[in-house]
Amino acid sequence: MDCQDWLVREDGLCEQCQLSEDWEWKEKTYRLYRFLTDLEDILEQTTNEEEILLRVRPLVRRLLTSSYWIQGEYTWPDAQQGWSVVNLYDEMNFPLTIQMVAWLPGQVSKIHNHGTWGLVAVINGVEKNIFWRRESKNPTSEGIEKVAEKNISSGDIICFTHSAIHSIEIIGEEPVVSFNLYGPTNYKQRWQFDPLTNTAKNF
């Protein structure tokens, strides 16, 4: 599989990351419960977002290739809504979000950040990510400016720090299916942006 890893920060730049070779274990099946345990161990050892993402990326690859059933754990999106979400794990007081997300072709998201670190592993299709940053000329404004864009396709993983701003557009004729992982969300730092009115709102 031709895979690439990417990291997006607050400045809107999309940096290619070195692809770890540690994800191709062959000794035993890597199950979801083991992944969750490894993930919690990492979070106990560091709070640095980039360190977390660096260490989690190869575990996600290992999970998706070893526990192959996960790739089929999605529902077909409703035609009117255009997208669907299936939670892979849900436990009271569990602070992380682990989902399978599916988008129909032609769908476009709002411009947003996530208020936490996040990782999206694309399993099927191609999504165009458009990256934004807050306007440097007026740091008190809610205005944003477009920085760049990148097509993320099957086998790729893209990671975001909590303040990275992006929007996505589903391109091509295939739906996009992805494995999405997000850290504990700080809703006071989670925003949607409107570049036409230079406004932002919590969501």
Whole-model pTM: value is: 0.93
Residue spans of the domains in the chain: they are: 5-17+76-202
pLDDT in tens, 28-59: 789 999 999 999 999 999 999 999 999 999 99
> CA-to-CA distance for 126 and 147, rounded, in angstroms?
20
Q: Which of 92, 86, 38, 42 is nearest to 63 (CA)?
A: 38
Question: In CATH, what is the architecture of 5-17+76-202?
Answer: Sandwich (2.60)
121, 179 contact by CB (below 8 A) = yes
Per-residue pLDDT at 58? 95
Length of the chain: 203
C-alpha angle 98-101-106 in degrees, rounded to nearest 5: 155
pLDDT band at 24 (very low <50, low <70, confident <90, very high): low
61, 35 contact by CB (below 8 A) = no
pLDDT band at 19 (very low <50, low <70, confident <90, very high): confident
Per-residue pLDDT at 199? 84
134, 193 contact by CB (below 8 A) = no
Q: Which of 202, 126, 196, 203 is nearest to 158 (CA)?
A: 126
What distances in angstroms separate CA 188 from CA 9, 111, 173, one per listed residue?
18, 16, 36
97-103 and 176-182: which strand pairing? antiparallel
Q: What is the mean pLDDT of residues 61-72?
A: 94
What distances in angstroms separate CA 81 from CA 75, 78, 97, 173, 203, one per listed residue?
13, 5, 21, 17, 18
